Chains A and B, each alone.
Chain A
């Protein structure tokens, strides 16, 4: 498969880009932020996502979705990133949908159509510490009667406060640090003993701290196999990481485009600042890094869609590379805008904040660089 958008993908992009730019530009985020909206996103927009088919992009056609792949989900995510659009899309339609699709079974049959219809928000609850370390999951799930009793805490649960269901990684055996002995559970948001405490983050998004105090679930809540949850978590993590990389790419591209426009307008010392070679060289370097990041993200998506065994490595390469390139884009963005780049009025600062939050989600640049080393045996 060539590493550029097919005709169908280009058509999808042509419908996604103007729709999101029109319905949810950066001013949409500002409005939600300034009104201290407790949901953190627009339910109306989420419904429109469903009507356009976006929310079911990864959901199989027989479950009411579009039955497309990570490459197509990436096209939507890039526009979400470019417009800083608050949306449960990454958590629900990409991460949760991938786990459910991979595991199959009754839970998937029930929830996949609801994702596609825009009737369900699902939040993965993986992290337990400030740094992303999924294999260190300690939240305990003990057998209790016919089902399980879950106790422990989760952190950085995106959409956790509004989710209809949570995908909770728990330990049924083994010790923290091991990938064996984990189980992934579908836990309804209104289950007794479950509390979500949403925190406003630097990018104005909301992420919850989750407490599970003896939450009882039936055996039907298990996604995949008991103790073999890693094989349900792996597709979730891969999808979320590739997805976050695509969204990061949009953030970086948005910041870079804004900065290039500024370099062509702003005058100092009687010249357009874009004429200065010191800035031109940094801009050209940034362009190169963004292009390489784009190729890498596309490669990771293709390998995931092919079910290629090299996908694991390329997903981490993509998260590390997109993280580094976008971070460069927002740093250069603020610097090249000068003083006004520091003001709340200008959008470039909002891109800086979003980059930080997305970079942290599902493992930052260091985590994935280290993972590349491990996957290569050193």
Chain B
């Protein structure tokens, strides 16, 4: 669950960027957008090339030895005391909330806690640490927003996305029915229980379509892959983007740069 009180650091000169494996392979534009937004705020972004995955897929599937081995490979990548920003509530939640438990009673316990304490979900970091001010350069448009369950409940950043979108003068944000309900992704849940997951994403897409918006943004690429995949297969007139891609595109003159 979300921290009762969050203590944000002051704006740093440098941050570590943890890109997540889904962004790395499927949505690198979201990662690039996040990096460019940080750089525009005057922050130097360090991307350790040896990063792979936070270990969450194995962790939530119950394979904790395997998860720990992958997570351990990330622990040495952030030696300086800079914040670690993650463009995902889900991977951020894994690192911030579950690393301490995963490494409890091991030699890496202290190191894991040290990493966990520096992890921030990127939109939260942009809004509440960088105090970003967005200048909307795009055409008028209407979007819906889907906040991932981990961003909402684990990282406690549900209000961040709407606040950032609210800074965009030409963007109208519409809320779908049951906005807080899971889209049905849940990592391996979508594969272990495909029919239940299918029923969940079906209703999520319906409520998004019902808003009348033809586009939505989301905090997490798992949800994006799930919702877009269902909408595309069933020819529903809605398509989503990662919120970072959307924010960067609307506030940046040179639209080709992030791709």
Indicate, yes or no, whether A interacts with B. no
Footprint of B on A, CB under 8 Å? none
